């Protein structure tokens, strides 16, 4: 006994000053903290005679995880934690839109922002400067550089503390179900699609994709067989209150509160987002308007009909409803556990995949330049509104991508694949559309498969071929660097690596 060890840690990333909030196409400064934002880490070590391997998995209440943030975390850890395998670290984001916007030191000179600054100088469009240098003054708003260093330190602390707290442990993998994620892309009879599209239209035909109400669950127990933590894998980003101007861990914060009321404040909760690039916590058919107005033209409804349905999934009440559905299911499943186990097989492989970038046509490139130039010619106002900002980012993204593909055809990504007895765990750095995850799970030889998106990098959306045809945000060529051809390769490589472990 004692050959299988697990350690847990949680660190706060809730700041003591205002911050820029990540997500959306308009600037938001935090007004207060609605629920804390945290980093939770679980260290797993198999140290038996025949199998020695490890995994450090970290879930952050952030919108994305840039590679330069991971590099900084590893730099802080290197040589300072005995036996810690840096190549076995997995850092993922829950994709909350109400947490830190930090400075990415790896900002490409061909980014959307650099293109906007080049083509729109008359508008004084200086988003990068505002975000990263603190227009409001460092005494009031945390700068992007401060946020970067703060986050790196707290993530590193959580990983080190989890690793150093490893003790003999046991586990039980289980399955639950709760209706959380739903497809947010709406299709119309002309072949087009739209994220947040209005379904109350004679032209509406169907939602583009399905949903996955399954919850992959893993309960961990300490040496006295007391519950120590829960790993929860759900196909839905934490985006209920995504438009609001407060700091929040969204529904994950409510899950933690409710589970700790039941099991005690010592319980650790590791929330992991499964492939869900086309998913959201909102029912597009039984649409419920926000309780208070939101400046986003994509969610405004001309012919709104009030429904008997969920509470508004744009507001705090909705995040509590989602949190309760998840927590209730976790408690019910826990009550049915009949056996906890020691780990006998543990293998962890980290690999790099080279994926072809999705190409921009010369016609789209020229049209985008024309659109940017026309906007400057016809608009002399100093600042964009929401709709302008989103559209200009789309055009700038196309220009940036076209310029990038002149010197680059392949994007290298990092993925991790783990076998934990009859469990498989696999990561990817995308907002990966649900269909890819469904195929991975269906073809996996594992009894249970945990899939984690937005891990070990931030490569934006990876849509399906159907979504690319329908177009709109999340499927635009400017919404991500990899297209469906790369999605096919990612799926095949993930399935092959999982199945090779069996």
Cβ atoms within 10 Å of 224's Cβ, excluding its own:
9
Q: How does pLDDT run across 405-416, given as a tens digit for each residue?
A: 999 999 999 999
**Residue 248 is part of which domain span?**
4-103+143-358+408-500
Is residue 29 within 8 Å of 19, Cβ to Cβ?
yes
DSSP β-bridge partners for residue 465: none
The DSSP secondary structure of 93-118, one letter per residue, reads E---SSSB----TT--TTSHHHHHHH
In a domain, 132, yes or no: no
Instruction: Determine which helix (DSSP H) or strand (DSSP E) holds 203, and give its type and residue range.
Output: none
pLDDT at site 27? 79
Burial of 383 (0-12, 13-18, 19+ CB in 10 A): exposed
DSSP, collapsed to helix, strand or coil, labels residue 8 as strand
Cβ atoms within 10 Å of 174's Cβ, excluding its own:
17
* pLDDT band at residue 129 using 50, 70 and 90 as cut-offs: very low
Q: What is the DSSP letter of 235?
A: S
pLDDT at site 132? 29
pLDDT at site 117? 75
pLDDT at residue 105 tops 80: no
Across 194-216, b (16+ Cβ under 10 Å) vs e yields: bbbbbbeeeebeebbbebbbbbb
pLDDT at site 189? 98
pLDDT at site 388? 67
In a domain, 125, yes or no: no
Across 241-258, b (16+ Cβ under 10 Å) vs e yields: bbbbeebbbbbbbbbbbb
Comparing 42 with 104, the larger pLDDT belongs to: 42
* Nearest CA among 6, 97, 38, 89 for reference residue 260: 38
pLDDT at residue 454 tops 50: yes
Q: Radius of gyration of the chain from Cα atoms?
A: 22
* pLDDT band at residue 50 using 50, 70 and 90 as cut-offs: low
Cβ atoms within 10 Å of 122's Cβ, excluding its own:
11
Distance between CA atoms of residues 451 and 441, nearest Å: 8
* Nearest CA among 482, 461, 476 for reference residue 399: 476
In a domain, 111, yes or no: no
**For the chain, the helix, strand and coil percentages under 3-state DSSP, each to the nearest 5:** 30, 25, 40
Instruction: Determine which helix (DSSP H) or strand (DSSP E) holds 179, and give its type and residue range.
Output: none
In a domain, 375, yes or no: no
Q: Is the C-alpha dihedral spanning 179, 180, 181, 184 positive or negative?
A: positive
In a domain, 472, yes or no: yes
Cβ atoms within 10 Å of 407's Cβ, excluding its own:
7
The DSSP secondary structure of 266-335, one letter per residue, reads T-EEEEEEPS-TTEESS-SSS----SS--S-GGG--TT----SSSPPTTSHHHHHHHHHHHHHHHHHHHH
pLDDT at residue 205 tops 70: yes
Cα-based torsion angle of the residue sequence 321, 327, 328, 331 in order, rounded to the nearest 10 degrees: -170
How much of the chain, in percent, has pLDDT values that exceed 90? 81
* pLDDT band at residue 382 using 50, 70 and 90 as cut-offs: low
Mean pLDDT lowest for which of 4-13, 157-166, 176-185, 377-386?
A: 377-386
Dihedrals phi, psi of 297, to nearest 5 degrees: -60, -20
In a domain, 129, yes or no: no
Looking at the structure of the chain, the number of domains it has is: 1
Cβ atoms within 10 Å of 343's Cβ, excluding its own:
20
In a domain, 400, yes or no: no
Burial of 65 (0-12, 13-18, 19+ CB in 10 A): buried
Distance between CA atoms of residues 162 and 117, nearest Å: 43
In a domain, 378, yes or no: no
* pLDDT band at residue 23 using 50, 70 and 90 as cut-offs: confident
β-bridge pairing 52-60 and 38-47: antiparallel
**Any residues with CB less than 8 A from the CB of 400 and at least 6 apart, and which?**
108, 110, 111, 112, 114, 115, 478
Distance between CA atoms of residues 240 and 238, nearest Å: 6
* Nearest CA among 116, 137, 141 for reference residue 126: 116
β-bridge pairing 410-420 and 431-432: unpaired
């Amino acid at each position: 006994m004692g050959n299988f060890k697990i350690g847990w840690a949680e660190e706060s990333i809730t700041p003591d000053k205002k911050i820029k909030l990540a997500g959306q196409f308009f600037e938001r400064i935090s007004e207060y903290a609605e629920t804390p934002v945290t980093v939770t880490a679980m260290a797993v070590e198999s140290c038996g005679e025949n199998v020695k391997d490890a995994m450090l998995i970290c879930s952050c209440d952030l919108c994305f995880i840039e590679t330069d943030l991971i590099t900084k975390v590893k730099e802080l850890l290197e040589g300072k934690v005995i036996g810690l395998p840096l190549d076995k670290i997995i850092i993922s984001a829950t994709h909350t839109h109400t947490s830190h916007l930090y400075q990415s030191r790896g900002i490409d000179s061909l980014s959307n922002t650099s293109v906007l600054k080049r083509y729109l100088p008359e508008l004084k469009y200086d988003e990068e400067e505002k975000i990263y240098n603190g227009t409001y003054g460092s005494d009031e708003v945390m700068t992007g550089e401060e946020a970067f260093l703060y986050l790196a330190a707290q993530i590193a602390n959580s990983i080190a503390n989890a690793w150093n707290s490893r003790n003999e442990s046991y586990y039980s993998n289980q399955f639950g179900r709760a209706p959380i994620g739903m497809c947010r892309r709406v299709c119309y009879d002309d072949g087009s699609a739209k994220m947040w599209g209005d379904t109350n239209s004679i032209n509406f035909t169907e939602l583009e994709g399905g949903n996955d109400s399954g919850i992959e669950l893993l309960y961990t127990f300490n040496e006295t067989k007391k519950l120590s933590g829960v790993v929860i894998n759900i196909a839905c980003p934490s985006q209920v209150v995504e438009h609001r101007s407060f700091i929040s861990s969204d529904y994950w914060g409510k899950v933690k509160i409710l589970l700790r009321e039941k099991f005690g404040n010592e319980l650790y909760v590791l929330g992991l987002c499964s492939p869900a690039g086309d998913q959201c916590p909102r029912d597009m058919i039984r649409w419920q308007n926000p309780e208070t107005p939101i400046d986003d033209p994509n969610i405004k409804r001309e012919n709104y009909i009030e429904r008997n349905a969920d509470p508004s999934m744009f507001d705090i009440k909705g995040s509590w409803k989602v949190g309760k559905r998840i927590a209730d299911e976790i408690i019910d499943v826990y009550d049915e556990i009949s056996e906890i186990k020691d780990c006998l097989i543990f293998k962890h492989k980290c690999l790099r995949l080279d994926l072809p970038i999705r190409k921009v046509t010369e016609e789209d490139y020229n049209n985008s330049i024309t659109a940017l130039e026309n906007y400057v010619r016809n608009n002399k106002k100093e600042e964009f509104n929401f709709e302008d900002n989103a559209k200009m980012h789309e055009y700038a993204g196309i220009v940036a991508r076209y310029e990038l593909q002149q010197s680059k055809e392949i994007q290298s990504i990092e993925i991790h694949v783990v076998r934990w007895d009859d469990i498989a765990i696999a990561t990817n750095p995308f907002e990966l559309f649900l269909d890819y995850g469904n195929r991975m799970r269906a073809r996996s030889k594992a009894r249970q498969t945990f899939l984690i998106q937005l891990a070990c990098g931030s490569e934006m959306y990876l849509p399906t071929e159907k979504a690319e045809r329908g177009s709109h945000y999340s499927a635009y060529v400017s919404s991500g660097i990899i297209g469906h051809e790369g999605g096919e390769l990612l799926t095949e490589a993930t399935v092959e690596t999982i199945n090779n472990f069996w």
